[in-house]
Structure 1
Amino acid sequence: MVFRLGELFCGPGGLAWGAMNADIGDPAYKIVHAWANDYDASTCETYTHNICPTDPDSVKCGDVRKLDIDSLGSIDALAFGFPCNDFSVVGEQKGFDGTYGPLYTYGVKVLKKYHPQWFLAENVGGLRSANEGSAFEKILSDLKAAGYKIYPHLYKFEEYGVPQARHRVIIVGIRDDLPYEYKVPSPAPYKDIDNSCKTALEVPPIPAGALNNELTKQNSKVVERLTYIKPGENAFTAELPEHLQLKVKGAKISQIYKRLDPSKPAYTVTGSGGGGTHIYHYSEPRALTNRERARLQTFPDTYEFMGSKESVRKQIGMAVPCKGAKIIFEAILKTFAGISYDSVPTNLKE
């Protein structure tokens, strides 16, 4: 059973890599690329270069609100990591009133048009509390109404061997005329994996001349400040001399000039980088390179990101960790193949 996958808001291809590399030991069950859409040109270039280099026309670059859904083509599965800006726990939560809030509805339109056998929708953990929980209820209701049994779960990717604390709501849906019941894969098989950020960045060493591995230029004051910040500390918890302290009023974000703790998974990789929000190395007084950030997102070193250094940083920050996605797609394939696997109850109400 080969599933042709369509993607909206495809990003640089974290979900796609997980889907194309999903392997349940039966070559009859696999996922192949059909088409994808994203609005950012460099992101689309990255996706095309790595996921479908021989079929560039299958990547539709442009605003989803202007996308001709009827022309996309038949699919067996849909993935959409709809933009999370208005559902994030950081900053003001605008939810459905924001520019990005209603974009999930384009995923619903594709489901109603093509009736794929299953879908995977992804968003930030803050989605559960946006609009006092009503946004999440509305999204789940709309997905059910499109004709799907849904299985929402808050996945903590560090529990699945990913070297990063990244918590995401993922909703798997199976068309309600099909006899399959998806179960959330258990993190138990991954509990003995060393998912420390140090191991991720150093084993194996990043090779000389690696792709997307340029150092960020740091000014001397930042370098000096970092020498006072210990691994795991940030600019507000470290003991800094007066001339290096940040004069910030109001909220003190814990991610500002925060250095990684080498014994733990990294904190969440984001697309930001200004004002001390880069991820900072545990032993060197510098920000991580994009290749190091990509390793925390479990992209292979051969994965080449296209565009400016700033664009690449944003692309990596908005991706789904490749290996985390692969685990979920393999669970979906096993569901359809009738292969049992260790599972846990969902931690979210349907």
Structure 2
Amino acid sequence: MYKSIDLFAGIGGIRLGFDQAFGNDIKTVFVSEWDDKAVETYKANFGKDIDVVGDITKVSEDDIPEHDILLAGFPCQAFSLAGHKRGFEDARGTLFFDVARIVERHKPKVVFCENVKNLVNHDRGRTFKVIRSILEELGYEVYFQVLNSKNFGVPQNRERIYVVAFRKDIAPETFIFPDKTDDSKMIKDIIEKQEVSPKYYLSTTYLTSLKKHKARHASKGHGFGYEIRELDSVAGAIVCGGMGRERNLIIDERLTNFHPETHIKGEINKEFIRKMTPREWARLQGFPDDYKLVVADTHLYKQFGNSVTVPVICAIAKEIKKCLESN
């Protein structure tokens, strides 16, 4: 039985991937997440009695249980240029420092992190250099690779960096990240089987403003603005803010009820253009259909945009498990 801790847990996407890969051989012994709505979703799916600790920066490493695997989808923050020590001290004041101090105290067998692809180039490559050197300083072999979600059974073009660090006494000679498992999925594979609520269809007023916004940028030579995705293509990366939903619009002609369910300006557009639903976003991230969506749509879009692609995590976790079992 491997014990794991789930830091910056969000809605539990990393944990879910490891649970799928390890089955009954893994047990989560500590969870930290500060966002109340994310905690609500997490508890609805992993157990309402789970004790989720809030701000990890206020938790002493001594109060964290012993564990074999540390999971962290930590937010990327700038590392101070002060000092130029490129090591443990450089991480102070960043959330990665909290990962580092827990690793230093508990020396888990594996540290697993996920982050944006640009982490490698952030601050001219210095941020990632600090992260890597800290883990090496703490006695770990560090492996990393950028993988695209569209190669792992979901129709989403999402590149993220995955970092796997093994404690040196048990580290494999090399760690091979999974290449791909399934790159055949398209948007039509994840859309709702039934007609969706009219609330997901854009109003004529809103659609007109989106068209004007796009035309304004096009006249300046920019490619900004809304995007309608073909059903036999893949979605762009879903993100929690800004144009996240508008960059992944689809045409769904099954609508029969054109009466608005919410207060809108104008009327429902007759071009059948709609946003994807939160459930469809959950599927774009590879969450199973029995994953419970218990908070309002606004929060769900943010949560899935911020989360990880579960099948990618699962594929990597399977490789980690093989390495651990070969020791």
Shorter-normalised TM-score: what interval? 0.7 to 0.9
- Give the AA of the match of 2:140: Y
Check the 8 A contact 2:238/2:245 in 1, yes or no.
no
Tell me, which stretches of 5 or more residues in structure 2 are unaligned? 82-91, 253-271
Aligned match of 1:4: 3
3-state DSSP of counterpart to 2:248: coil
**Alpha-carbon distance change, 282 to 337 in structure 1, aligned in 2, over 3 angstroms:** farther
What is the aligned counterpart of 1:218 among 192, 202, 224?
Answer: 202
Identify the match of residue 75 of structure 1 among 67, 77, 84.
67
Quick check: 166-175 or 193-202, which moved more?
A: 193-202
CA distance in 2, matches of 1:16, 1:148: 22
Which residue of the partner structure matches residue 200 of structure 1? 190
Seen in structure 2, the aligned counterparts of structure 1 residues 3 and 319 have a Cα distance that, compared at 3 Å, is same
- Seen in structure 2, the aligned counterparts of structure 1 residues 40 and 333 have a Cα distance that, compared at 3 Å, is same
- Distance verdict in 2 for CA 1:258–1:278, change over 3 Å: closer
Q: Classify 1:180/1:259 alpha carbon distance in 2 versus 1 (closer, same or farther; 3 Å).
A: same
Question: Match of 2:189, as an amino acid?
Answer: T
- Within a 5 Å distance, the mapping from 1:234-253 to structure 2 comes to 236=214, 245-246=215-216, 252=222
SS in 1 for 2:191: helix
Q: Which residue of 1 aligns with 2:31?
A: 36
Give 1:332's aligned residue. Answer: 320
Q: 1:267 aligns with which of 233, 236, 241?
A: 236
Size of the aligned set, in residue pairs, is 299
Could you tell me which of 92, 96, 99 is aligned with 2:79?
96
- Cα deviation, 1:223-267, whole Å, max 9, x if unaligned, reads 4578x8xxxxx964xxxxxxxx4479979464x211223222211
Change (3 A) 1:219 1:175: same
Per the alignment, in what secondary structure is the counterpart of residue 137 of structure 1?
helix
Instruction: String of CA shifts for 1:20-43, please: whole Å, max 9, x gaps.
Output: 1115xxx7x732211111110111
Please give the root-mean-square deviation of Cα atoms over the aligned residues, in Å. Answer: 3.1
What is the rounded CA distance, in whole Å, between the counterparts of 1:97 and 1:316 in structure 2?
A: 30
Structure 1 residues 101, 294: closer, same or farther in 2, change over 3 A?
farther
**Aligned AA (1:286):** R
Distance 1:257 1:22, change over 3 A: same
TM-score w.r.t. length of structure 1:
0.76
Q: What's the TM-score once normalised by structure 2's chain length? A: 0.81
The alpha-carbon distance between structure 1 residues 30 and 276, as it changes in their structure 2 partners (threshold 3 A), is: closer
Task: Work out whether 1:135 is the aligned partner of 2:115.
Answer: no
